[in-house]
Amino acid sequence: MPKDIQTFEKEIGVSFIDAALLRQAFTHRSYLNEHRSEGGGHNERLEFLGDAVLELVSTHFLYEKYPDKPEGDLTAFRASLVNAITLSEVASALGMNDYLLLSRGEAKDNGRARQMLLANAFEALIGAIYLDQGYDAARVFIENNLFPKIDEIVKKRLWQDPKSTLQEKIQEAEGSTPHYSVLKEAGPDHDKHFTVGVYAKDMLLAQGDGKSKQEAEQTAARAALEARGW
């Protein structure tokens, strides 16, 4: 059973004027299908808004933090900073998993699907803060909770293209080229989620999720690198 949403407000230091926005940020579409009498909306529209706010705030931050870096590097930094893996890690650290409103079926899944749900809820939360408190409050929340990740990303070169790195490693070790296949596709057209598998010589190395096939492939490649200790 999810915790009292007011506890979360205290934990993040944001007091919502419209508490319904915060609840909506945690509400998955599947929950409403099982609790139609409760009313309110799910978090997909807030996620859409929060994604745009996150991209702008992150872009501005990276532009100022790395004045000598070219556009290509900044784009790669941003992709690593706002991908599903990083966002879900931050959401977990904030304890957001304890507040998600999910269907019974969704609540049972604690794997990659939960990771995506947490990343989406984090973006929805940013959208809710933006609507309720304004741009500056959303920016401060992102700065405090997400931006500390960037130093590790740059230091460990996590921003480098994992697909290219994996290809080099596989060709070097096995003389073959990895290939990718969509294993699952879910969600409406405006909010597609993909699960992709990466293979070497028809052996599944790892799986990854993303909002596009490209993002899911990168996530799968990164998971394969981690699994092989590369």
Half-sphere exposure of 77 (CA within 13 A, CB side): 24
- Tokens linked to 152: 């590790």
Q: Give the span between the Cα atoms of 229 and 226, in whole angstroms.
A: 5
CB 117 within 8 A of CB 100: yes
Q: Give the span between the Cα atoms of 181 and 175, in whole angstroms.
A: 20
Q: Give the span between the Cα atoms of 19 and 99, in whole angstroms.
A: 14
Which of 11, 18, 51, 209 is an active site residue? 51
To the query of whether residue 215 is one of the catalytic residues in this protein, the response is no
To the query of whether residue 191 is one of the catalytic residues in this protein, the response is no
- What beta strand segments (E) does the chain contain? 179-186, 193-200, 203-210
Task: Transcribe 123-170 into DSSP letters.
Answer: HHHHHHHHHHH-HHHHHHHHHHHTGGGHHHHHHTTTTS-HHHHHHHHH
Q: Give the span between the Cα atoms of 76 and 74, in whole angstroms.
A: 5
Which of 4, 55, 123, 189 is an active site residue? 123
- In 3D space, the residue among 91, 66, 207, 73 whose CA is nearest the CA of residue 145 turns out to be 91
Active site members: 51, 123
